[in-house]
Structure 1
């Protein structure tokens, strides 16, 4: 199956798009099957009650955990559902019993930094180059010389489409005996995340095209031994694994069912094929938009991601609103709150999925040229 054929198959599985959707880095488009599965579960809750319906959906949810495990390199028993990626990080940090220090990128996601601060975690920056990419050898030296409690990596940021050396850092952490926690919110379903990390957390709504309000957290049993969840309290008479204690039962089960279907669809397409197609889409986007007057593409053309950010003198929030109102094109405006220690100038982010077409890119390039003139 060619990249174009994969894109056609992905598009055919979804309702027709209204305009041009270049915003999968924020929230992708769900398939009809995922939508129907969530709706059917909600209907079943009305028929038999929410808890009975949840019991009936156990096999579907188990399949969802197994699919996530395949993408993260864990086992199905290691995977729990959360509310969001941020919620997953909070579960890890609130339960962590080791040293309260975390090594992370200079360009760490702003809300992650807020969660770390809320849990009294000392943040130590790892060295990066001018593009914000981790300098692996220098980082290894820093980590060996001043060992943190945890190493935290966001392989693909919210504000920049630079792919970090996740597999290589995982190897460094194994050699040093340091636990690695991965924020895969932008990476799961986009980059290869099955690298042996101790914990991986992500959201449903981005590249896996699930519903909003669902996340996942995968933790290795060896890492779980250093976690002590605050709720529910440990009770020897009612033994539960750490994973079971981390997964809150009072949640939107219908959304979890929809996500389980969505991640199953991703596996059916072939994760490697999707990754290759997304890399090609990113390259195609940067080549097309790199010549638009008034804009500068931030990422290298051949960066293997589908996220492209653009700089321009105008306020990207105003440009985003103009693109939606005047051209029906959905993008994201990113300001310094996304990466307060790295993003000094706001950018417009384009994040198309595998269904991007040349016609859509041509239309978007013309719209951006018009937006630059009107700014």
Structure 2
């Protein structure tokens, strides 16, 4: 059975076309059923007793994260979101508050950095927004930041960043590296990249329930008191169980196989959509990610187009406003992010729908 067929058969049928996994992937029947079973168990025996019974499943989830990041299971904790994980890391940092990141840094991350008093320095990039590794090494050597925060794959653009290369630079200079893998986890290689901490969200390429994050961090990046506090905060154990099941499904399907399928879909998407209805593909055709960003013709509002694609054609994409990357984006865009079950018919349907919507704007 092909990967696409297995992925599709494991899930409820989509009511339309789903090209939005960078926002939220579709959960499997197994994940949905696991969440429901745990919720029922809470009603039968009490929430805390049910949580104790679920610990082997959660430990398996942490072990899956360890396998995908190169950390140990003991280094992994569940958080409320990716943003919550970053808030924890920066809140526990006790060194100087200087931080280097890409110009395409996620807007909400910049807010969290400012809230914690960090002065942000921008790493040098090329015309595509990709890190210039040699220039970055010179930049950090001449004026070292206390931390480097690095996003291998952004929310606003499907450019794959050289995370292992910046990891080597940071190791050489003794600068801790925090990796925002919200879009990279279960999409690109995230293991053994030289990071001191990696964090991600539950709902994107892993196809877990919404409302969770994951954090893997080496000893000392998160304080013992914070870890103890996390163990006593209110959580959705049912969602953690569902995410653990989703992580197991990802490993069973084969991470390398999924990465190859996503890269192939990205290339196919950019080929099908190049120049359709006056929209321009931002990424190079062979960029090894599934994310494709479309820049609109002058005077066209991607928010309106996205809403009409849903209302009139039942096609789900993402509106990417400049707030996603306020130090790099100059205009809004439309983002497509198919998972491995997408077909060329789905992409052709999107192209036809885009032409239809543009004809009546």
Q: TM-score, normalised by structure 2?
A: 0.97
| 1:164-190 deviation digits (Å, cap 9, x = unpaired) | 001111111111111100000000000
> Map of 1:134-283 to 2, 5 A cutoff?
134-194=131-191, 195-221=193-219, 224=220, 226-228=221-223, 231=226, 243-283=227-267
Mapped pair 1:26 → 2:10: no
Q: Which residue of 1 aligns with 2:57?
A: 60
CA contact (8 A) 1:320 1:330 kept: yes
What SS does the aligned partner of 2:56 have? helix
The offset of 1:98, in angstroms, is 1.3
Q: Distance in 2 between matches of 1:230 and 1:322?
A: 49
The offset of 1:291, in angstroms, is 3.8
Mapped pair 1:339 → 2:325: yes
| 1:286-307 deviation digits (Å, cap 9, x = unpaired) | 0000041211101000000000
What SS does the aligned partner of 2:172 have? helix
Mapped pair 1:118 → 2:115: yes
Quick one: which of 9, 26, 29 aligns to 2:6?
Answer: 9
Q: Which residue of 2 aligns with 1:286?
A: 270
- Return 83-92 or 248-257, whichever deviates more: 248-257
Q: Which residue of 1 aligns with 2:339?
A: 353
Q: Which residue of 2 aligns with 1:366?
A: 352
Q: Distance in 2 between matches of 1:228 and 1:189?
A: 27
In structure 1, list runs of 5 or more residues that go unmatched. 232-242
The offset of 1:244, in angstroms, is 4.5
Q: Which residue of 2 aligns with 1:303?
A: 287
Q: Distance in 2 between matches of 1:172 and 1:19?
A: 45
Q: Distance in 2 between matches of 1:211 and 1:247?
A: 20
The offset of 1:315, in angstroms, is 0.7
CA contact (8 A) 1:308 1:351 kept: yes
Q: Distance in 2 between matches of 1:326 and 1:334?
A: 20
Mapped pair 1:315 → 2:310: no
In the superposition, relative to structure 1, how do residues 142 and 150 fare at CA in structure 2: closer, same or farther (>3 Å)? same
Mapped pair 1:49 → 2:68: no
CA contact (8 A) 2:319 2:335 kept: yes
CA contact (8 A) 1:331 1:350 kept: yes
Q: Which residue of 2 aligns with 1:239?
A: none
The offset of 1:149, in angstroms, is 1.1
Q: Distance in 2 between matches of 1:190 and 1:248?
A: 31
Q: Distance in 1 between matches of 2:154 and 2:194?
A: 20
> Map of 1:76-91 to 2, 5 A cutoff?
76-91=73-88
Q: Distance in 2 between matches of 1:265 and 1:245?
A: 30
RMSD: 1.2
What SS does the aligned partner of 1:189 have? coil
What SS does the aligned partner of 2:188 have? coil
What SS does the aligned partner of 1:293 have? helix
Q: Distance in 2 between matches of 1:371 and 1:247?
A: 49
Q: Distance in 2 between matches of 1:260 and 1:295?
A: 39
Quick one: which of 98, 101, 113 aligns to 1:101?
Answer: 98
Q: Distance in 2 between matches of 1:303 and 1:22?
A: 17
Q: Distance in 1 between matches of 2:144 and 2:224?
A: 24
CA contact (8 A) 1:80 1:247 kept: no
CA contact (8 A) 2:88 2:222 kept: no
